[in-house]
């Protein structure tokens, strides 16, 4: 009878140890999966950083080009209407363009955040 009790206890210990190993393996698997996902996120952030840097370089280049265009327009208009009027025309045009773009941006943001006005 003692042997039967020992066998049952041995089976219980065996099942308990197997269950403990399963839990340990599951924990290791979960930790490995977390590390894998962290590595994927870091890789995506690196890719996004490169894209943002390229976008900033493009914006800087476009800004220089716009400045050159404004200077060129001023140089063309100055002999025709004088330097003061040329400056007023260019600045006025740029201010109107900025106001229009700002108004359109505000309109889109209002629609995005729940205003009732619809876009055309």
User: pLDDT value at position 112?
Assistant: 86
What are the tens digits of pLDDT across the range 86-95?
999 999 999 9
Residue pair 92/80 in contact by the 8 Å Cβ criterion: no
CA 103 to each of CA 5, 92, 118: distance values in angstroms, whole numbers, following the listed order: 85, 16, 14
What are the tens digits of pLDDT across the range 24-53?
999 999 999 999 999 999 999 988 898 899
CA 55, chain centre distance (Å): 12
Model confidence, pTM: 0.52
What are the tens digits of pLDDT across the range 51-82?
899 999 999 999 999 999 999 999 999 999 99
Distance, CA of 48 to CA of 44 (rounded, Å) = 6
Element of type H or E holding 82: none
CA 63, chain centre distance (Å): 22
């Amino acid at each position: 009878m003692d042997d039967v009790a020992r066998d049952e206890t041995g089976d219980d210990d065996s099942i308990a140890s197997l269950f403990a190993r399963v839990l340990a393996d599951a924990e290791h698997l979960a930790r490995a999966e977390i590390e894998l996902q962290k590595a994927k996120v870091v890789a995506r952030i690196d890719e996004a950083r490169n894209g943002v840097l390229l976008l900033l370089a493009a914006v800087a280049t476009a800004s220089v080009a716009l400045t050159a265009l404004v200077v060129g327009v001023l140089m063309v208009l100055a002999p025709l209407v004088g330097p003061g009027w040329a400056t007023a025309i260019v600045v006025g045009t740029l201010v109107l363009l900025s106001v229009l773009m700002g108004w359109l941006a505000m309109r889109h943001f209002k629609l995005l955040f729940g205003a009732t006005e619809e876009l055309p």
